[in-house]
Structure formats: C-alpha cells, structure tokens
Structure 1
Amino acid sequence: MFTQRPEERLLQEEDLVVVVPGVLGSVLRRPDGRYAWDASLAMGAQFLRDFCATLEALRLPPGLGDGPPPARDALRPEKLMPGWQVWPGFWAGAGYPALVRSLQKCLKNPERQLMIFPYDWRLSNRYNARLLLDRAKRHLYEWRREGGGPHAQLQLVCHSMGGLIGRYFLHVLGGADITRRAYTIGTPYSGSVKAVRVLTGRLLQPPWRWFSERLRPVAETFPSIAELLPSHVHVAQPGGEGGAGDDRRADAVPLRDCHVPGLSREAVEHSAAFHRAIGNNEAASPDRLVHVFAGGWQPTEQTVVIDPPELRFTRRERRFNWGDGTVPRFSSVPPHWEDDAHAMFYPATHVGLTSHAELLRDLTGKITAIAPRARLTPARPLSLHLPPVASAEETVPLQVHADSPCLTLDAHLQKADGTSYGRPLPLRPDGTGGYTADLTLPPGMWHITVETTKESPASQVDGLVVVVSD
C-alpha cells in the first residue's frame, strides 16, 4: 500500500468500487419469496423445454419502455449470480465469484469499499442507470463520511450489458462527475448481432428452432434486449453485389434504415434512441475515464444478410471476423474512439471473461494504479529527539517530528550485536506532526530506528542510546 504527500496522495485508494453485472447476471426473486432466476434455474434445466418455462415466468407486459414494471411483474434483485448462467445460443457467463474475490483483495476496506449493484436485467438500461445513480450517490456519501474521506469517488466495474448501464449513468445522467474511472469487460458498445437472432426467433438452428420461437415473444417484452440490438451493423439487402460471401455490398444499410423480417420496428427505434442519447455526450468525456477489457480472436457474427425468406448471419465484415464469440471486436470499444489501441484484448470467449486470471490481474492493477511521482518522491524528512544516555530505572522518551500529522511510525529496537529486541513499537501522534513513544530498556547500547509504514519510499531516522545501571 502506498501513500504520498498530502498534495500527491493516491486518491483512488479511497474510492468506492461498484460492480455492475451483465444480462442474466443478477439473481431475481419473486414477491412470494421464490426464485425467478438463479444459478439452479440457469444450470438445472435438463431440457430446453424446461428452460422455456423458466423464461415464460419472467415475461413482462408489452410496451413497458423505460419505466418500472407493474407490481405484479416486479422481481427483487438479490445478489450477483454465484455460478454459471446461460441463455442457450445467446449469452453465457461464469458468474462473478472470481471477479469479486479479486476486487476484495485489492481494497483496503473490502466490506465497505465494494458496492454490488444487482438489478432486474429484463428492464431498460435507462431505468437501471437511474437506480444506479441513486444508490451509488447514497453509498458514496456514506463511504465518504465513514471512512473514504471527502475526495473519494466511484470506480465502476461493468460487465457485458452492465457497461451500457454504466455508459448511460456516466454520459447522460451526469455520473461522470463523481466517477474517477470506469472499466468495461466484454461490453457490446454498439450491440450484438445475437440480439437480432433472439428478437427474430432465429437464435438456434434446427432441430432447436422451436426453442427460438418460444423464446422470442418473451424476449420481446424485455426492453434491455432491444437495447442490445446492433447500432454498428449493416444489413445486406437482396440483390447485392458479389454474392452471399461478399462483405462489401454497395446496398448495405444500417439496421435502423431497413426492414428486417420478423424484427419489431418499435424495438429498433427504442434501441436507436438509447444509443443516440449516449452518443450525443460520450465523445466529450475525459480520455482516461473509460478503460476497456475485451475478448478476442474468436469467430463472431458481424453482419445480417436478408436472404428471403430467411436471414443469414455472417462472421466477416471489412475483412475482420474477430470478437469474443458474442461481441465483435469493433463493438467492444466506444464508437467515437479513433481506434482500439487503448483497449486490452485477451484470447477468451465472452463466457469466461469474468474469471480470466490475466484480465483480473490487469483490472486490479489499474484500480490500484500508482502515479509515477509516487515512486520519484524523495523520502520524507523525520527529526529524532533521543537522549544519548538514560538510566535503566528511567523511561526513555522517544520523540519524532515530521511535516505531516497523518503518518504511521514504528520504532525498531536492536541490541549492540544487531539482533532485534521485541516487536516494533508504534509511536503516538499528537495531531500536529509530533510523535512519541516511551521506551523501557535494560542496560546496554541500543540502536533505535524509526520508520514510516504505508509509504513509498519509506522514510526513516535512527539514533543510539546508552542505558546504564545505577
């Protein structure tokens, strides 16, 4: 742990870290206490038919938009998904135990400095972003008052669709004013082609097409799924040049500008409005606010091709087919970025990002980043006051003065032969830069070293005292 001089303190050490999970990533409970969605439901369905029954219980009323659900359809988010979650063919993940453990290890006060934000992932990301703003403000206020200090801010860790909530929170609701950094893990900034599959009933191929058809009317009631529709992808129209394998059709148009068979126009417009609201403000955000972690080198669907009466989904767009299997590479970074040089890519699928050891190590390294000046700052001067001679019958007064009243100082005692004597003795601060300790030593010559802890570089000062018997 490192601290600096008051004007150069590592303020991020005081920050509140907030975890925002992805779609399916929160356990949901019914008003009667039964679970509507948890790890046993996600993993325990032995057949897709059972899985469909589970999703049917999650259905929302149509046309909900950005508001809360009626009381009869409300579910209570309880915690992060503790194990694997899967929506066959569309979304899957390893849960959040590894991510949470990594964050807890890098925080000074993990019980109070880590805020978990489970949410009802069926609802609009706009609505959940407003809930995040309210809850994060209250939690940050409490943390500042009870331990973090007045300069503490937020650091957001957003997984998958949680990154869309984070973006709306930062750039539309003004959350950037209280946020030092935001980290996105596998976030589909510009959506995913798989959302088109879900909302057109083409998620899985025969013989599982019946599952897609049963899933579609339920998914159409979830505003969040519409907001995952790709804003980047181009749809190839019938009669394009170059045949089915050509990814450079002159007649390709954005999703919002064409009719895709089976895809609700209302869903497309809802998605476009959501992404437009973010894009109008995102480009003006500070360059170092958002840090991207993403998977790569996996075959990923990039383009929708209209081939009546069917739709086809191709894995190649402008010569690239990379991604994490769900999110294309060019959708894994903010759309206003000039390129993705500042993103960090890992050879992983979307499923395993939250448990990827290298990614988690790099993430926690950024959260606990050290400013270069912290390593270059010279040692803090300490002034030692110690009598040269003392009687074995007396208490030896040890006094140190420093330019800060907030240090942690320990006195280390050594005998004349260099061996340590007892445990380090903490010095008492007086609140003005003075520190004291009372020593009781047997006769002999003593080497006393006073050293700062929790600073880099450590500061120290030492002296000798001779203790004589009467």
Structure 2
Amino acid sequence: MFTQRQDKGLRQERDLVVVVPGILGSVLRRTDGRYAWDASLAMGAQFLRDFCGTLEALALPPGLGDGPPPARYALEPEGLMPGWQVWPGFWSGAGYPALVRSLGTCLKDPERQLRLFPYDWRLSNRYNALRLLNWAKRRLPEWRRERGDPDARLQLVCHSMGGLIGRYFLHVLGGADMTRRAYTIGTPYRGSVKAVRVLTGHLLPWPIRTSQFNERLRAVAETFPSVAELLPTYACVTETGYGAGDVRGGDTLPLRDCHIPGLSRQAVEHSTEFHTAIREKEDETSDRMVHVFAGGRQPTEQTVAVDPSELRFVRRQRGFDYGGDGTVPRFSSVPPHWEDDAPATFYPASHVGLTRHEDLLSNLNEKIAPVSSGAVLTPARPLSLHLPPVAPAGRTVPLQVHADSPHLTLDAHLRNADGTGYGRPLPLRPDGAGNYTADLTLPPGMWHITVETAKESPASRVEDLIVVTLP
C-alpha cells in the first residue's frame, strides 16, 4: 500500500510531521558523551546483567517537580530508540524504525518534513511540553519561510506517554494554533494501573527474589515525575471483591480519595494537578484535530483491589473486563471528555507492537496525506503567468495572468529571496474575458511571485521569479 501511495504521488508536502515518542523511547546521553540509555549491544548486555543498576544510574533528586534537573543529573536526548526498550512488567516498546520508515512514504520531502522530538522521559510531561513549544516556535516559522507557505502547520504523531506531552502542548500551552492534526498511538489518557504497581513496589509478582528487586525499582521510579503522571485518574480503587481476579460491583474510588499502602501522596497530587490542567482547557473543538489509535482485546489490569493484607491488580472495572493493549485499558486510551470511544480506531495488538502494526501505520499515513475530494472531482485550473524576468526598481511592472474562466478571484503573493513575505496579497483585476492584471512596484532584489485562486478548492496557482535591479 505504501508503494501505491508513492507511485500515485499522494504524498503530503505542506506540513511538518513531528514524532513524539513514549516513555523509555528516547536515547539519553551523559554530558561526558557516554550513553545512559540506548539500544546498543553494550547497553543490552549491561541491562541484562543489572537492570536495576541501569535504572538507578538514571535516578533524579527527590521532589524535582516540573522543572529541569540539576546539572549533575542532566542527560541529553539524542534520537529515538532504534530497537526494543523495556521496563519489565511496567512499560515496553518495539522502537521507532518501522514508524519512521512508514511516515517517510507519505511525505513529499521526508528528510526535511519529518522531525523527531527526543526528550528526557524521566522529567515531567509539563516540562517536555514546554520544550516542544519552544522548538515549534523556532522550527515552524523557518519551515514556512522555506516553503513560502505561511499556513503550513504541524502534524504531531505521539506514541504512548508522548500523547500526554502532545495534549499539554495543544490545550494548555496553545500549540493547537500551530497544529493541523495530532495522532495518538496507545496513549494512556486516563493513566495505567501499572504505574501503581511500580510506585508501590509490586511491579513483578514472581515469588523468588522479587522483594528487593521491586523495592529498588520503586525507589528509582519515585524520582521520575513522568511516572507519577501515568497514574490512573479514573476511579480505579475498590475495597470489595475477594475472589481471584474478580471485582464484584461496589463503588470504585479515585486514587486521590484513597490511602494506597506504599503510594506517595505527593505522586498522586502531582498527577492530579497535571491532568486537571489539561481537562480544564480541553474541549470538543479539539476533537476535529485529534485522531486516536489504540490496542485492544489484550488482558489488561484495570482496577486496584485493596484487600486487608495486600494489593491486587485486577483485569476488571466494576465487574466487567474492557480489555486494552496489555498496559493501557481501552477506556483510558481515549480523551476523557469523549462520550464514547467510537471515533477511535482499535487494533488487536499489545502496547509493545503498536508502532510496528502494519494496518495502524497504513491508516496513519492515509490521515497524514489524505486525498482531497476537490482535487479529484474538480481539478485545479491551469493558469498562465506573464512576468518580465528583469525590471528596474521604482518602475511599474505589469503582471498578467490568463485563465479559462473569467470569474476567478486571483491574488498575487510576493516574497523575497529568503521566503519572507512582502506586503499584503495583491488582487488581480479581471477583464471579463479570462485575463487578469496587476501592477507591481518592487525594490531591488530577487522576488518570488505566486498567483493563486482565493475562493476555490483545490486552489490553482502559478509562480515565477523576477529580478529587480537598481535604476
């Protein structure tokens, strides 16, 4: 399918496509040049020998909150993980090569259009959303100048926790104004019970030698603000249900209204503040730009049952198993304000495989580079532009366009050599016989002139260059 799209030329050429990876999904490098987290063979060997030690080396100072880390804890993001990333029992992924290759097939100029946004996934999603905003404020204007298109925007492809960064960027920081569409893949909009597991020292249930292992991982995870922001925001706690794997009705409560042994109140409050800030700004108008892809039909923990002697993690919510992708419950994989999940697209896939699921990637490409019905049913009109190649400064230059229709509205857009716009669009005067004219008076320099229809979809356009010399 990707080859067919490429052969037909159905490739998006206007917008920047930005990939925002999930937790664990960015390569992290120390200031001395050594890698703290990557997918190399050396890192893999170290990982297998001492996974706890690998993570402990990434620990942050306690109580960091939403700011950057002190210099001694700082790590530099350097690209997306090219291979598997895993935190056993908590979070895992297949890396991003398949996703990046697939996106390249639906873009006109993937080397310039496709941008990756690695980030330090230990830090708060608020902080990384602000980094994304500052990056976009620099890069999008540059792209608009390069393209000569002031209406070019971003298209965000957000995987897993990256969708929380994208939501905060769009709705709280105003990034929606510069974004055409956003796509989330396996994003835990309402959190995941697995975050409760890791933050209470219940990550792995194996009976042999797990107590110390779980406690070491809990101590590290508590220093990562991002892990707290993955805590469930829905009512996920029950004190009823004493059958294995069963929760029989009864009320469920949100974490903020309960005492969960071993779970830091600071982590719960941090998560609540983060998600509340988004919900207060998010509204139905955003639904037109957000497209949700998620996994389903996998056994997924949905509830925390507080028994007198232990915590149990149950694959039911209020007596019913909704499934999910094995990490994110189905009802958590869509925006909280949605009435139901009908607008989302679900695949029978686990969280680890979403970024390489062929049907998902194919459908994602179709949305990033959609076919314009207007372009198919009403092809662009041919325009003929006459413009002298050279003209002296200060002298009026006639700009003439001929079309097969006498009823068009045509505007001329002027930009200098570096792509900066010059003045307002200049309307062309029709003569009623398919001829349109305008008078140009330009300062010295090289000028790019684009004439396009203003009230038709798809727009018809024609362009040329003129050199204006000193008189």
TM tier, smaller: 0.7 to 0.9
Q: 1:379 to 1:271 in 2, by over 3 A?
A: closer
Q: How does 1:281-430 map to 2 (within 5 A)?
A: 281-318=281-318, 319-378=320-379, 380=381, 402=403
**Aligned length, in residue pairs:** 392
Shift of 1:375: 1.9
Aligned to 1:19: 19
Distance 1:36 1:432, change over 3 A: farther
Taking a change above 3 Å as real, the CA distance of residues 208 and 278 of structure 1, as seen in their structure-2 partners, is farther
Contact residue 241 and residue 247 of structure 2 kept, 8 A:
no
Partner-residue secondary structure (3-state), 2:111? helix
Amino acid at match of 1:334: P
Letter in 1 for 2:149: G
C-alpha displacement at 1:370, in angstroms?
2.1
Q: Distance in 2 between matches of 1:136 and 1:46?
A: 36
C-alpha spacing 1:381/1:214, structure 2 compared with 1 (3 Å): closer
* Structure 1 residue 250 displacement after superposition: 2.6
- Displacement of 1:110 after TM fit? 1.1
Q: 2-side partners of 1:341 and 1:334: how far apart?
A: 12
Shift of 1:308: 2.7
2:112 equivalent in structure 1: 112
Pairing 1:57-456 to 2, within 5 Å after superposition: 57-147=57-147, 149-205=149-205, 206-209=207-210, 210-237=212-239, 240=240, 246-318=246-318, 319-378=320-379, 380=381, 402=403
1:285-344 CA distance string (max 9 Å, x none): 332110000111101000000113210000012422310000000000001001111101
Instruction: Tell me how far apart the structure 2 counterparts of residues 157 and 36 of structure 1 sit (CA, whole Å).
Output: 25
Tell me how far 1:211 sits from its aligned partner.
Answer: 1.7
- CA 50–82 in structure 1, closer or farther in 2 if over 3 Å, else same: same
Question: Under a length normalisation based on structure 1, what TM-score does the superposition of the two structures give?
Answer: 0.77
What is the distance in 1 between the residues matched to 2:106 and 2:188? 27
TM-score between the two structures when normalised by the length of structure 2: 0.77
Residue pair 1:236, 1:249 contacting (<8 A) in 2 also:
no
Tell me how far apart the structure 2 counterparts of residues 216 and 294 of structure 1 sit (CA, whole Å). Answer: 28
Query: Match of 2:222, as an amino acid?
Result: E
Instruction: Write the distance in 2 (CA, Å) between the matches of 1:109 and 1:261.
Output: 53
Q: Aligned partners of 1:42 and 1:167: how far apart in 2?
A: 35
Per-residue deviation, 1:380? 2.6
CA apart distance, 1:48 = 5.6
Q: What is the match of residue 420 of structure 1?
A: none
State whether residues 11 and 107 of structure 2, in contact with CA within 8 Å, keep that contact through their aligned partners in structure 1.
Answer: no
Distance 2:115 2:65 in 1: 27
SS in 1 for 2:288: coil
CA distance in 1, matches of 2:25, 2:54: 15
What whole-Å deviation, never above 9, does each CA across 1:122-155 have from its counterpart, x for those lacking one?
Answer: 0000000000000012110110011261110110
**Alpha carbons 1:15, 1:148 under 8 Å: kept:** no
Question: Which string of whole-angstrom CA distances, capped at 9 and with x for unpartnered residues, describes residues 361-384 of structure 1?
Answer: 10011000123222221563578x
Alignment CA distance shift 1:104-1:241 (3 Å) = closer
Q: Mind listing any 5+ residue stretches in structure 1 that lack a counterpart?
A: 3-9, 384-399, 407-430, 434-455, 460-470
Q: Distance in 2 between matches of 1:179 and 1:47?
A: 38
Change (3 A) 1:89 1:258: same
1:285 alignment partner, SS class: helix
In structure 2, C-alpha distance between the alignment counterparts of 1:140 and 1:353, rounded to whole Å? 28
- Aligned partners of 2:47 and 2:28: how far apart in 1? 21
8 Å CA contact 2:235, 2:252 repeated in 1? no
User: Is contact 2:11–2:105 with CA below 8 Å preserved after alignment?
Assistant: no
Residues of 2 paired with 1:103 and 1:169: CA distance? 22
- SS of 1:215's equivalent? helix
Give the distance between the partners of 1:42 and 1:236, measured in 2 at CA.
Answer: 44
Distance 2:299 2:14 in 1: 40
- The amino acid that maps onto 2:135 is R
One-letter code of the match for 1:219? A
Contact 2:202 2:214 in 1 (8 A): yes
8 A Cα contact 1:195 1:228, kept in partner? yes
Superposition deviation, residue 164 in structure 1: 0.3
Q: Tell me the distance in 1 between the aligned counterparts of 2:97 and 2:228.
A: 28
Conserved 8 A contact 1:41-1:54 = no
1:94-124 Cα shifts (integer Å, max 9, x gaps): 1001111111121112111111100000000
Q: Is the 8 A contact 1:299 1:315 kept in 2?
A: yes
